[in-house]
Amino acid sequence: MNRVHIKTYGCQMNERDSEAIAAMLRARGYTIVNAEAEADIILLNTCSVRDQAEQKAIGKAGRLLKDKHRATPALSAPRLRVLGLMGCMAQNRGRPLLESLPDLDLLVGTQKFHHVPDHLDNLLASWRGLGPRPSTLVELDTEADSQNLLRGHSPGRQVSALVSIMQGCDMRCAYCIVPKARGAERARPMEDIVDEIRGLAATGTREVTLLGQIVNHYGKREYPAVAGKTPFVQLLERIHAIEGIERIRFTSPHPSGFRQDLVNCYRDLHKLCEHIHLPVQSGSDQILRAMRRSYTRDQYLRTVNALRAAHPGMCFSTDIIVGHPGETDADFAKTVALFDEVKFDMAFIFKYSTRSGTESADMGDTVPRDVKESRNQILLERLAATSLARNQTLVGTTQEVLVESPARKGRDIFMGRNRGNRKVLFPGNAAHVGLLLPVRVESATTTALQGRALA
Ligand code: SAH
Ligand code: SF4
Ligand code: F3S
């Protein structure tokens, strides 16, 4: 009765939180299973950033609860005993979720997700006692809790690991629900982060991705600048010095407050991979202002150029929202022009989704659905063309690839990433996992490179 399946929606923060829960549960003797059908306990770690993400998780929870009821002891023994919702949507929507999902066993918000293992222990104990089904256990404190920043990895499991360096967000972008879902910004102590990464390095992790909503604001309040270097840059330098760690990435920085000390890191810290995810959201100053993104199109482009000057091989990815309230054809044309100018290697393009309680929600959803859709398509086509062109320039080159895992079960194709964060597929074997291999690129698609290992 202790087989747990965790399904994760949303961003890498949620992925890392799911990993943290999995590690805590393993330590208590639970087994984490990949197949839903084998689980006694299913946890959905949810996202609230767009309506679609919420609907997916609500639909999933509804179906699971229905199946749970349908299974009767007379038939095959019911497998699923416990269904829990945790994460951003649990926090954001809270108790009203129980109106449509009254049989949920667990509803735990973002500040207290580290209590989930205790809650499961208790639920299972009452189950064994064959008492009546306890009512839904709800824990939705909004007060920021730094305990949820504690390390959370099962060491020795990952070549590439996600490491949380901060929680929450104080930015209040007009369209965004994350500050409500994740609470106020707080930094994890630098010593703690360095310690966790040392431990990861000692057990085989070669690459770390530092996570936060605005990583370049890391520790602003907690740590002073030293010799003109912000706390985030100080942290990068300390991680750079850890033996065994070969690559450093982070996501996401905010274009405002992206200073020269951070730009210089791309010149000075060779472990820092020359790929940056720098969300722009829009190419129109008017829309940026409405979004309360505190930079202009020009400032954004200046940062891009400074980064390219610091490292000529720099690769860029971004987030864009199309159809924010008030976005005209002329505004959108500016986004397209910026897109063409930067030539992003990758981009996540989102159709604006009204989040109730945000400032943008008060502006109304003024851009019709079909206009959002066509703007979305235009950018996707542009992206496919630039990604393919960028990838094709790599055919014939040799790329340094950190080998992560087999690409497909039962075949000898392995996958890794080059420093620019492109997926690279090549014929390999299990001994390659965890190595930095030179791979000669033979062909390219929009999303991946194929090649042959030289060593
Ligand atoms: N903290 C990160 C972004 C986190 S949310 C940053 O500021 O860069 C990830 C992305 O979701 C955002 O960059 C934005 O492009 C998108 N997003 C956020 N709210 C949205 C909304 N209401 N509708 C559509 N997309 C949204
Ligand atoms: Fe949302 Fe803005 Fe914070 Fe990013 S910086 S999480 S977009 S409020
Ligand atoms: Fe979604 Fe929460 Fe991440 S709302 S995008 S899972 S921070």
Instruction: Quote the CA–CA distance of 446 and 386 in Å, as a whole number.
Output: 8
- Interval between CA 14 and ligand 3 midpoint (Å): 7
Q: State whether the beta carbon of 263 lies less than 6 angstroms from ligand 3.
A: no
Strand stretches in 47-143, DSSP E: 82-87, 106-108, 137-139
What pTM did the predictor assign? 0.95
Task: Give pLDDT, residue 67.
Answer: 81
Q: Considering every ligand atom, which ligand is closest to the CA of 292?
A: 2
- Model confidence pLDDT, tens digit, residues 220-249: 999 999 999 999 999 999 999 999 999 999
Helices 329-342 and 369-392 cross at an angle (nearest 10°) of: 10
Phi and psi at residue 47, in whole multiples of 5°? -130, 150
- Model confidence pLDDT, tens digit, residues 341-371: 999 999 999 999 999 999 999 999 999 999 9
Burial environment of residue 291 by CB neighbours within 10 A (0 to 12, 13 to 18, 19 or more): buried
Mean pLDDT on 28-50: 95
Q: Considering every ligand atom, which ligand is closest to the CA of 90?
A: 3
Buried/exposed 322-354: b ≥16 CB within 10 Å, e otherwise: bbbbbbeeebbebbeebbeebbbbbbebbbbbb
CA 129 from centre of chain: 39
Q: State whether the beta carbon of 321 lies less than 6 angstroms from ligand 2.
A: no
For the CA of 88, the nearest atom of ligand 3: 2
- Interval between CA 95 and ligand 2 midpoint (Å): 24
* Between residues 154 and 123, the one the model is more confident about: 123
Q: State whether the beta carbon of 171 lies less than 6 angstroms from ligand 2.
A: yes
Residues above pLDDT 90, as percent of the chain: 84
Q: Please tell me the residue having the least CA distance from ligand 1 atom 10.
A: 319
Q: State whether the beta carbon of 280 lies less than 6 angstroms from ligand 1.
A: no
The closest of 230, 295, 283, 282 to 259, measured between CA atoms, is: 230
Q: State whether the beta carbon of 179 lies less than 6 angstroms from ligand 2.
A: yes
Q: State whether the beta carbon of 292 lies less than 6 angstroms from ligand 2.
A: no
What confidence tier does 68 reach under pLDDT thresholds 50, 70, 90? confident
Kindly give the pairing relationship between strand 413-417 and strand 423-427: antiparallel
Q: Quick one: tokens of 132?
A: 């009546």
- Model confidence pLDDT, tens digit, residues 126-158: 777 666 667 888 999 888 777 766 666 666 678
Ranges 155-169, 177-191, 318-332: which has the least confidence: 155-169
- Interval between CA 211 and ligand 3 midpoint (Å): 12
- Interval between CA 8 and ligand 3 midpoint (Å): 10
Instruction: Quote the CA–CA distance of 305 and 308 in Å, as a whole number.
Output: 5
User: Which residues, 6 or more positions from 178, have their beta carbon under 8 angstroms from its beta carbon?
Assistant: 48, 49, 88, 169, 213
Q: Which of 13, 47, 49 is the pocket-test mutation for ligand 1 (most atoms within 8 Å of CB)?
A: 49
Q: Are 218 and 231 in contact (CB under 8 A)?
A: yes
**Angular region, 30: left φ>0, alpha ψ -120 to 50, beta rest:** beta
Mean pLDDT on 107-120: 92
Instruction: Quote the CA–CA distance of 286 and 374 in Å, as a whole number.
Output: 21
Q: Are 164 and 211 in contact (CB under 8 A)?
A: yes
Task: Give pLDDT, residue 269.
Answer: 98
Residues above pLDDT 70, as percent of the chain: 94
Q: Are 420 and 374 in contact (CB under 8 A)?
A: no
Could you tell me the domains of the chain?
3-139 (3.40.50.12160), 157-273 (3.30.750.210), 306-392 (3.30.750.200), 398-453 (2.40.50)
User: Which residues, 6 or more positions from 378, have their beta carbon under 8 angstroms from its beta carbon?
Assistant: 336
Q: State whether the beta carbon of 49 lies less than 6 angstroms from ligand 3.
A: yes
Phi and psi at residue 402, in whole multiples of 5°? -90, 115
What confidence tier does 61 reach under pLDDT thresholds 50, 70, 90? very high
The closest of 145, 70, 73, 133 to 106, measured between CA atoms, is: 133
- Interval between CA 179 and ligand 2 midpoint (Å): 7
Q: State whether the beta carbon of 353 lies less than 6 angstroms from ligand 3.
A: no
**Angular region, 68: left φ>0, alpha ψ -120 to 50, beta rest:** alpha
Mean pLDDT of the chain: 92
| Sheet order of strands, 315-322 included | 275-277, 315-322, 346-351
Q: Considering every ligand atom, which ligand is closest to the CA of 179?
A: 2
What confidence tier does 452 reach under pLDDT thresholds 50, 70, 90? very high
Q: State whether the beta carbon of 175 lies less than 6 angstroms from ligand 1.
A: yes
Kindly give the pairing relationship between strand 448-453 and strand 247-251: unpaired
Q: Quick one: tokens of 370?
A: 């079909």
For the CA of 281, the nearest atom of ligand 1: 15
Q: Say how many Å lie between the first and final Cα of the chain, rounded.
A: 46
CA 336 from centre of chain: 25
- Interval between CA 368 and ligand 2 midpoint (Å): 24
- Interval between CA 176 and ligand 2 midpoint (Å): 6
Q: Are 247 and 271 in contact (CB under 8 A)?
A: yes
- Interval between CA 321 and ligand 1 midpoint (Å): 8
- Model confidence pLDDT, tens digit, residues 394-438: 999 999 999 999 997 667 999 999 999 999 999 999 999 999 999
* Between residues 151 and 90, the one the model is more confident about: 90
The residues with which 276 forms a beta bridge, in sequence order, are 316
Q: Which of 176, 211, 281, 348 is the pocket-test mutation for ligand 1 (most atoms within 8 Å of CB)?
A: 176
- Interval between CA 171 and ligand 2 midpoint (Å): 6
Q: Please tell me the residue having the least CA distance from ligand 3 atom 3.
A: 11
Q: Quick one: tokens of 218?
A: 């890391």
Burial environment of residue 428 by CB neighbours within 10 A (0 to 12, 13 to 18, 19 or more): buried
Q: Are 222 and 193 in contact (CB under 8 A)?
A: no
For the CA of 353, the nearest atom of ligand 1: 23
- Model confidence pLDDT, tens digit, residues 281-303: 999 999 999 999 999 999 999 99
Q: Considering every ligand atom, which ligand is closest to the CA of 350?
A: 1
173 pLDDT higher than 70? yes
Q: Quick one: tokens of 101?
A: 């999902």
What confidence tier does 73 reach under pLDDT thresholds 50, 70, 90? low
Instruction: Quote the CA–CA distance of 384 and 371 in Å, as a whole number.
Output: 20
